Structure 1
Amino acid sequence: MAAAQDAWQAIGFAGPLILVASLIVSLTLITLLQPLFQRYALALPNGRSSHSAPTPQGGGIAVVAAALAVSAVAIWTSHAFTIEAHASMLLVILAALLLAVVGMADDIRDLGVVAKFIAQAIAIVLVIAAFPAGMHVAPFLPEWLERALLLAAGLWFVNLVNFMDGIDWMMVAEVVPLTAGIAVIGAFGALPPEALVVALALNGAMLGFAPFNRPVARLFLGDMGSLPIGLLMVWLLYLVAGSGHLAAAILLPLYFVADATITLLRRLSAGERIWQAHRTHFYQRARAAGMSTMAVVTRVFLVNCSLVTLAAFSVALASPVASIAALALGAALVGWLIASFAHARA
């Protein structure tokens, strides 16, 4: 307990520094690497793209590198963190680096579904192994069943994050509020301290990427960014749920999960090949109907900020009634947003 309190006190002083340092590292790496992105990592328009001209991708490698490096320095140079926290962070870094390498290779040359799926499964297993001792997301289930469900859910979440990265600033509108919300929940003392460090570092790294991805984007994340970023969010959300705040863990990514899952089910029911590129997510349908990119991502950002508020509300009150009310309001907000996209007009 004393070690945990020391860690929280250390983060309290260093929190803004972690965010700013990650932002600067991300911004600097992107600036230095842009010539390489332009030469070796051009994204050509395809059936899922919203851009019409070849655009450099690979910004995600700078975002992930900044977030992981700053997190590692903050945790491993502080005597306030336990050896268990150091070991957990090592597993998370290895898992994220695995997906970054796989994503980089896939951005350059298609690796195929099976190879990517196996790598993602290994990464999710590493993330689950990084849980604090004795942590359970669903303690009412047998451990083997809980872990199997977490593996399946993690695989789906990593891929849906990749699917949803389809227009400029969409990932910024998702990751920045979500990580800010986790940082707020962590500031309540409701999470392992290393979760707050990673949330702040990932938030800063995405803010460093944001100017380059602002519509019309000069740089994309690429799979090398969206896959490991999705993995880091999985780990953070599992820690939120495993700390007794399941409602908050559901609320924070609710729009991304709802849009991607409903779209998948619609495509399955229509007999479409779900592994093929497409532009039928609700936000993409709004763009196709004439809504501007800024209008779409602004709505997503504002709804995500509302979901963060509801998640923080459920954690602060810590009662079943508050959690149910927050979930109901969050579902209504997301339902409104999806309906507005489905019926969008220019």
Structure 2
Amino acid sequence: MPLLQRYALARPNARSSHKLPTPQGAGIAVIAATLVTVVLFAVVTKAEVSICVLAATFFIAVVGAADDVRSLPVLTRLLAQAIAVGAILAMWPGDIRIFPLGPLWIERGVLLLAGVWFVNLVNFMDGMDWMTVAEAVPVAGAIVTLGYLSDVPPITTIIAGALGGALLGFAPFNRPIAKVFLGDVGSLPIGLLLGWCLLELAYRGQLTAALLLPLYYLSDGTITMLRRLVTGEKVWAAHRSHFYQRATNKGFSVLDVIGTVFGLNLVLALLAIASTWVTSPAARVIVLIAGVAVVGLTLFRFSRLRCTAR
């Protein structure tokens, strides 16, 4: 904490929800705890673990740490993220596909762009105390449950469980009003690890579950970006345009927003798990529509409801 206070102090800006300078960089502890747990598990149980995933996570954490201390150029950050996501995609054999139709290079290209977007998305959405905890812990818990049901490999289950546990350990320090923030050293590798877990799920035929789990983040972040593009704003510049940020401007307290997001993600986690139990494509579409509906209602509530907000 003294080092973060000295070298990685987050001062309020156009994006911030905090009013006082607050140290950032607690992601060092979260990611270190996750990686150490996974390595120890692999050593003790002799389980197979992807060195590529661990190396990419460490690499992007180092880039995030550098950005926390001294802001890096946008292109440098994007290039580093593309290298990390690309390295993870390259480890999958070419015969493993999500959509078997069409050339492999198109699918991998789309996944590369989606992976870089998802890594940035987790970073963009980490703009309020407990927000990343409210998102990542339910997602990690659902992946652990799906691992128990044999829908993802054991090592993916362990990584999700370790990450979720590390974030729970971080939560008391980030409770409103936060004593410390994750920083890019935390949000970027968290996005990479969650994205990898979701990709594992999609590659094993559970695309509906892989879409449902991060659906709130995907919806809030993507709609906000498109809205800013339409209005001619610089999408890479700091802002407070996300639905959850606008909600606090309309009278919602931080705990109102976080409680709503956490409850929503629990519902999405249940829907994702339910989608793995049905075999009918029509039934999976219905479950996905249900997820879209509850997310849509939440976004509408954040953007419209004023009188009853506390």
The two structures have a TM-score, normalised by structure 1, of 0.86
Structure-2 separation of matches of 1:50 and 1:93: 32
Percent sequence identity is: 51
Partner of 1:321: 282
8 Å contact from structure 1 (residues 313, 322) kept in 2: no
Pairing of 1:115-264 with structure 2 (within 5 A): 115-131=76-92, 134-264=95-225
Partner of 2:15: 48
8 Å contact from structure 1 (residues 186, 193) kept in 2: yes
Give the partner amino acid of 1:274. Answer: V
8 Å contact from structure 1 (residues 91, 129) kept in 2: no
Partner of 2:36: 69
Partner of 1:112: 73
1:143-201 Cα distance to aligned partner (Å, 9 max, x none): 11111010000011111111000100000000000000111111111112211010110
1:270 and 2:231 equivalent? yes
Q: For structure 1, list consecutive stretches of 5 or more residues without a partner in the other structure.
A: 1-33
Match of 1:282 among 243, 246, 253: 243
Structure-2 separation of matches of 1:319 and 1:72: 38
DSSP 3-state at the match of 2:98: coil
Residue 238 to residue 73, structure 1, CA distance change in 2 (3 Å): same
8 Å contact from structure 2 (residues 94, 104) kept in 1: no
Structure-2 separation of matches of 1:59 and 1:251: 28
Structure-2 separation of matches of 1:181 and 1:194: 15
8 Å contact from structure 1 (residues 138, 242) kept in 2: no
Matched length: 307
Out of 227-236 and 317-326, give the one that drifted further. 317-326
Partner of 1:57: 24
How far apart are 1:132 and its partner, in Å? 6.5
How far apart are 1:133 and its partner, in Å? 7.4
1:52-101 Cα distance to aligned partner (Å, 9 max, x none): 0000111111101111110121123323x3xxx33xx2101111111111
Structure-1 separation of matches of 2:285 and 2:207: 11
Structure-2 separation of matches of 1:134 and 1:235: 18
Structure-2 separation of matches of 1:131 and 1:312: 25
Structure-2 separation of matches of 1:93 and 1:167: 27
Indicate the RMSD between aligned Cα atoms, in angstroms.
Answer: 1.2
Give the partner amino acid of 1:287. Answer: T
Structure 1 runs (4+) deviating above 6 angstroms are none
8 Å contact from structure 2 (residues 139, 213) kept in 1: yes
DSSP 3-state at the match of 1:48: coil
8 Å contact from structure 1 (residues 124, 151) kept in 2: yes
Give the partner amino acid of 1:71. Answer: V
Out of 56-65 and 123-132, give the one that drifted further. 123-132
Partner of 1:11: none
How far apart are 1:139 and its partner, in Å? 2.2
How far apart are 1:51 and its partner, in Å? 0.3
How far apart are 1:321 and its partner, in Å? 2.6
8 Å contact from structure 1 (residues 137, 238) kept in 2: no
Give the partner amino acid of 2:40. Answer: V
Structure-1 separation of matches of 2:96 and 2:27: 30
Match of 2:261 among 296, 300, 306: 300
How far apart are 1:134 and its partner, in Å? 3.8
The two structures have a TM-score, normalised by structure 2, of 0.96
Out of 315-324 and 178-187, give the one that drifted further. 315-324
Partner of 1:13: none
Structure-1 separation of matches of 2:226 and 2:304: 19
8 Å contact from structure 1 (residues 131, 239) kept in 2: no
Partner of 1:338: 299
1:309 and 2:270 equivalent? yes
Structure-2 separation of matches of 1:123 and 1:138: 23
